Structure formats: structure tokens, C-alpha cells
Structure 1
């Protein structure tokens, strides 16, 4: 770089530092200026060296995504300042890992597991347990993308495993976090394929594996449009430990080396083999004032368009069972006001989960407006409907309500969970419904026949018990890759 270019870059960074200082009404200390210049160099300098090590397509992705991040960051900080709010874990997302977290990593090898949100954290828990048995001397750190995922991870692992927010997929933030953690292996769960993170880890000599890997049909259609790009990303992985043969086939079609691919099943099922804690059911019955003889339909992880269909079925069921309680847990809780408006329009009274405790239950419908409780709330249902399946969005895991021994209903769109659906259907323990009418008819049939309702629930529970062992196989793949 010529001296003029260096001076222009320096001047640009200094101007930005002055702007930030003026905006925040702080005096610029010399050390603050040099710290800002150091951080800017840390974030931007990797881009000056990538052309020699990757294709133009890969470089373009990193370059333009970096432009977006650096372009939006000042505006984002201004909005934060004006609104008086801060993003949880903002420093960690920029790659600054707290020193106290690093001090907990006392063993070797050092394993970093990235679990994006709630579902992946549950998988991580099963894999961590298996790793502790196979590599007792290892140290493990877990990262998440979402606040709900982080909260569950902290609750699940306690002080045994440090938990951090994942860095933004941006050269500087990823490089800073990897340099701080210094993992021997980077473990991504399910569909977490982050191009910049993968590239930076490979450059630093860190092994990379994908475990409990799954590629949904909808994701696959997007991936294959950019096959040359993703083929290059996948080249950096040392191993792929997939859930099903279909997942493996899609990964091969994306350009992954077939020699690196193994099929080991779904580690989510390992946590479902334990005996259900019946105290959980009692807790939620008391909390929501639902008696043991009350009939309850739980609609979990519902998506836009499904609530109207569920209400159509509920209206029919109420004619025969006027005391039937409906619990609606939307996949995204920011849709709660929208669902509430729909209920009011249809003439249904409802309460929110956060109304309890503190209020008596006066309505037949409860909307769950909290994170992380759905799995436990399944325990109070007689029938559980898995959302995202009456609309073409791939469904939700039907084995979670099956864990509690419930009659599990789902729509025709379960393509994200073909293995779980097959497990239930092989045991005659899953009920597929095509629309609101069939949902009402099948629910009416089972609610009118308590013995049959109990039998299908027991079959579902037995089907879950028959699964398991995948977490140990995924952990073995990690151990093998470490060498």
C-alpha cells in the first residue's frame, strides 16, 4: 500500500474516532484513539490478504458482507445511543471474549461448540455429556446466537462450561474471538455453516466439524443455487456427522467430499431417553390452574396461518367438550399481539402465560408468551399438535411431546423431521392431519376414547425410548478428528 493510501486510511479511522467521541460526548484520550485504530486494523486487515487464498466468489462474499457490517455499525450504535438500549453481549458479538470465561478452560484439548439457539443447545448438552466420558481431560466452551439459547445454555451447563455469544460472521470479530479462545477444534451443530468463521478457523489451523448435521429441503434449494461457493466453504471441514441419509445426500450435492461424511442419527433423542419428571406436569397444572381431569390441546410452535385453522378445529371440539382448554405457543413470540387480535376477532377470550401466577384462570385459551417453556408445557396436554406442519414450513420435532407420552398430531408438511416422523409412524404413534376438519375429527375421536388416547401416548413414549446413541457417535467423530 502506498504512503498516501496509508495516510488516507489513517485519517479515515481517526475521523471516525473523533465522530464517535463527539457523539458520545466523551473526551478523546490518546490511548482511546490508538485502541480504536488497533481494533479497526484487527477487523479490516484480514481482507487485504484473502485474495491469494480463496476464489473470487468467496472473497466477494467476505468483502461485501464486511462492507455491510462496517457500514451499518455506526448507524446501529447511534440508534442504540438514542434509544438508550443496548444489545445483549454486544462486546462478545464483536469478538471480545471475557477473560473470566477463558480462565475456565483449563483442560486440553480445547473444544468450541457453536449451538445457535434452543434446539441446538439441547443437542450440545447431549454431546457435551458424551465428550466428558470419551475425553475427560478436555475443556469445552459453547457459543449461541440468541439470548434464549444463551439462557438455556447457562442453565444447562452451569459453571462446568463457559457460555458466550457467537461472534458476528465478520473477519475481525471472528479472528479476535478465535485468537482469544484458541480452540483445537471448532464444532458447528446442525445447519450452522458460517463462511467467514469457517475460513478464518481454517487459516488459523483449527479443525472444523459439522455434527448432528441436517440440511432441510428448503435450505438445500437455496444452497444449490450457489453450489460453487458452498463447495469451497465445505472444503474447509474435516468431517460431517449427519443425521440421516437424506441429509448426507443433500450435503454431497452441495459439493462436500463424500469421504468425509458419516451418518450417526439425531442427538436430540438422547436427552429424551431419560424418565420424564412428573413434577413438571404438576407444576404447570398448578401454575395455569388446570385440573388433572381437564382436557387440554397444546398447539406448539405454531406459525402464521395455523392459528386460524386451529381455532376452527377448537370451535368444533368445544361443541362436544365445552371445557376443553387450548394452549397456543407460537414459534415467534413477537406474534402474540397478532394472535390475540385474531382471538378477539373470532370471539374467544384468552389469557397470557405471563398472567400466571397472580391471576385466576378465567379463559379457555392460553397463549404462551415466554421462551423456553414449551417442552415442559407439553406435559399437561392430552393431545399435542406440532406447528409449522399445516403450512409448508417443515414442522417441529414430534418426539418432544412423545417424550411425555402424548398423542402427537401434525400436518402434512413435516419435511424438516422425516426421521422423527418415521419413528412415530412405525410405532403407530403419530397422527397426521391434513386440515382443520381432520384435526377436529381425529382429536374428537381420541378425546371420546380415553383408553385409545392413553394407548397411543404409551406407544409414542416407547418409540422415543427406542432411539438414542447418536450423541456418543457424534462425540466419537469429534475425538477421531482431533486425532
Structure 2
């Protein structure tokens, strides 16, 4: 009955969801692509075993790279399908996997749409990244005999509390997975509390991502071009955070410090540029390909897929998503490149990684934007401490690798059994 009520809510909301998708397509045209795919429509692909991986947006799509690489090596005869829900995720998938995988939307979570999607692709295994729990998809996959695995799975305490309010609904959902492979022991324990029978722990796939050499070299070239000028990076900032951080930094930073500002979402690039202009901050946009001059206060990173280059450039990085209750953005990339990190108070999406990085001296925790500004000033004035944090960050990133291999060992039996079934399915 709970899933029926859930489906009814989807039906009532569907006209608004469709209108919102088309409206967002005005600024992000990718949202207007293949609307039929949102309902599971499309031609039937070639008859070949398919390994399907769903990553809702940019972070999950990038995190999947080590696993996609391992799947291609271990199962070269299988096709790879990668689905998303957001335009930015779809663009990232095309950038990373366009030559090696099919890219499609995951349908909205309506029973007939999910049935059509599963009939179309006949996947041997569906791999859901991190927190992708869709009740109707799980129900229809179980009916069709398609095993689903939730990998790199995380569940914050606040999310677990929300699920617990609908205990029967949550139990039905989590028991629908053939395997749950959690990031940490704490994540696994929360899944157990919701009813998952035997979640495994494999670590965080984000540790297995190698910094792209071309991006690191790009950052080093920027560094050489800017000379000795200090660079403070505001990385992956979310709505409302730029104003908080700039208010704290604007009057405190020495005039020679360049602020590199890279918003998380591309649809906000112009909005942030306008905000900088209103504040009277001289800016240079990365999309112009021009380097900032001596009088430039902010270098706006308004190009996608270059975050490793920004980390290679910066002396210190303040990580976004953590200054409002949004859960934080990925700090592992900065640590892997050797960039000292300052985190805000809200890192529940990276709870264990953030705690470990702080404990090992790779990151600092600041209570608010003013404290972050104070910490940044202190680090910019202390080269020896920055070097120590950089070394600690790289050691931290290297020490936690191996999640992709552990995850593969857990899902390979599901792939073997699912491949034979998918080829004989009607």
C-alpha cells in the first residue's frame, strides 16, 4: 500500500515535474533531450549482455570511473550503459564515457516506465551509485529477475532517520537489492537498521580516482604563469555559499591574493559572475581563456571538468557544500593533488573521509565562514604548514585506495548469473 501511495504522488506531481524539466531546459538544453527516455521509451539495443550503472549527477558519475574501468577490463564482451537524472551528470558521462558506453536517462520512477526501460536494455546487472534508492525500479527489477547492487553506498544519520519514519517502506526498498556495498562501517550499520540483511563494506570509490595528468599539468602551467601570487580556491561552491565566503574574505585577504572561484553547478556561472560584478570585484572568466591580470581579484572557473587543475594551482582550498547544511563536496580530489583543505561544519555526505582527513592533518575544520577566512590567512602565511598538509593529504588519499577491486569481487557473481539470464529473456 505504501508503494501504491508513492506511485500516486508521482502521478499527481508528474505534470509539474515535466514542466520543470522543460523549463530547466531553457538554460540547460540537455534537459530537453530524449524526453521519451524519461518514460522508458526508445528502440531495443543490440542483443548483447549489458552492465548498467546509474549515477544521478556529476559527483557520482565521476566516482564511477574506477568501477567502469574495472568492468571493461573484466567483462570486455559486455556493453556498458550509464544513466543519470541531471543534465550536468549526462554531460559528464558523455565527457568521460562517451566512447565506451551508451548514455541514457533513468526513467522517472513510474512502474510502467521502469518496466519499459528494463525490457529495452535487459541488463545483466544494475549498479546504483551511492544513495539511489527508487522503490518502483527495485520492484520492477525484482519482478523481471534483474539483480540490482547499491555500491559506494552511503546513508547519513539524518537520511537514515527520515527513512526510519517509513520503516516498512524502507525495509521493502533496501531488501530489494541483491547486494549493498557500503563506504564505511557506519553506513553499513544504518542500512542494517533499515532492514538490509548483509551489507558489505568496501571503502569509497572516490579514493581510486587518479588525478588526470593533463589537468595537473594545466594547473602547474597556471601556477608558473602567475608566479609567486598566492591563490585561494573556493571549490564546488553551492548557492548562497559564495556570498558567505566572500563577505568573510573580501576585507581580510591581502590585495595580492587571487581568489579562484569554481561553482559546483554550471547553470550558476552567470549568476555568480553577476554577483561578483555587483560587489565591485574585478574578475576574469576561465571561459575567455585569458589569465587573470595583476588587478584581477577573482578568477571565475566557469568551465566544466577542470577541478583537478584548480587544485593543482591553489595554495589552499575551501571546499563548498559544507558552509550550509548540504553535506559537503568531495575533498578527496584536493587531497590527492596535495592541496591543503579547509572544511565547513556540514560534511555529512563525506562524514568518514572528512573526519579522517582532519585527524591526519590533511584538512582543517572551520565552524563558519569567518573562521575559514582566519584559517586561510594563517595557511597562506605559513608555507611549511601547507607543505605538511599537502604531504598528509596525498598519504591519506593513497592509503584508502582499493575500493574498486573490493567492489568488483562482491558483484562479479551477480554479473555471471545475470548475463546468462539477460540473453535468454524475451
CA distance in 2, matches of 1:64, 1:393: 25
Q: Among residues 398, 404, 409, which one is paired with 1:476 in the alignment?
A: 409
- In structure 2, the partner of 1:235 is 175
3-state SS in 1 of match to 2:256: coil
Q: Is the 8 A contact 1:273 1:468 kept in 2?
A: no
CA distance 1:77–1:471, shift in 2 (3 Å): closer
- In structure 2, the partner of 1:253 is 193
In the TM superposition, residue 213 of structure 1 has moved relative to its aligned partner by 0.4
Taking only aligned residues, the RMSD between alpha carbons, in angstroms, comes to: 3.0
In the TM superposition, residue 365 of structure 1 has moved relative to its aligned partner by 0.9
CA distance 1:412–1:64, shift in 2 (3 Å): closer
Where does structure 2 lack aligned partners over 5 or more consecutive residues? 418-426
After superposition, residues 319-358 of structure 1 pair within 5 angstroms as 321-336=254-269, 339-340=272-273, 342-357=275-290
Q: State which structure, 1 or 2, has the greater radius of gyration over its C-alpha atoms.
A: 1
In the TM superposition, residue 408 of structure 1 has moved relative to its aligned partner by 0.8
- In structure 2, the partner of 1:90 is 35
CA distance 1:198–1:139, shift in 2 (3 Å): same
After superposition, residues 196-345 of structure 1 pair within 5 angstroms as 196-257=136-197, 259=198, 261-272=199-210, 278-282=216-220, 284=222, 291-318=226-253, 321-336=254-269, 339-340=272-273, 342-345=275-278
3-state SS in 2 of match to 1:256: coil
In the TM superposition, residue 94 of structure 1 has moved relative to its aligned partner by 2.3
3-state SS in 1 of match to 2:349: coil
Structure with higher RCO (Cα < 8 A, 6+ apart) = 2
3-state SS in 2 of match to 1:212: strand
In the TM superposition, residue 271 of structure 1 has moved relative to its aligned partner by 1.0
Residues 1:435 and 2:368 aligned together? yes
Which range moves more in the overlay, 71-80 or 205-214?
71-80
Q: Among residues 333, 349, 367, which one is paired with 1:416 in the alignment?
A: 349
Q: TM-score normalised to the size of structure 2?
A: 0.87
Residues 1:448 and 2:388 aligned together? no
CA distance in 2, matches of 1:74, 1:308: 32
CA distance in 1, matches of 2:366, 2:262: 19
In the TM superposition, residue 220 of structure 1 has moved relative to its aligned partner by 2.2
- In structure 2, the partner of 1:184 is 124
Q: TM-score normalised to the size of structure 1?
A: 0.77
In the TM superposition, residue 244 of structure 1 has moved relative to its aligned partner by 0.7
Aligned residues: 414
In the TM superposition, residue 338 of structure 1 has moved relative to its aligned partner by 5.1
Q: Among residues 457, 464, 481, which one is paired with 2:390 in the alignment?
A: 457
In the TM superposition, residue 247 of structure 1 has moved relative to its aligned partner by 0.9
CA distance in 2, matches of 1:336, 1:276: 24
- In structure 1, the partner of 2:94 is 154
- In structure 1, the partner of 2:75 is 135
In the TM superposition, residue 285 of structure 1 has moved relative to its aligned partner by 5.3
1:242-297 CA deviation, whole Å, 9 max, x = no partner?
0011111221222222x3x11111011101478785322145558xxx51322111
- In structure 2, the partner of 1:397 is 330
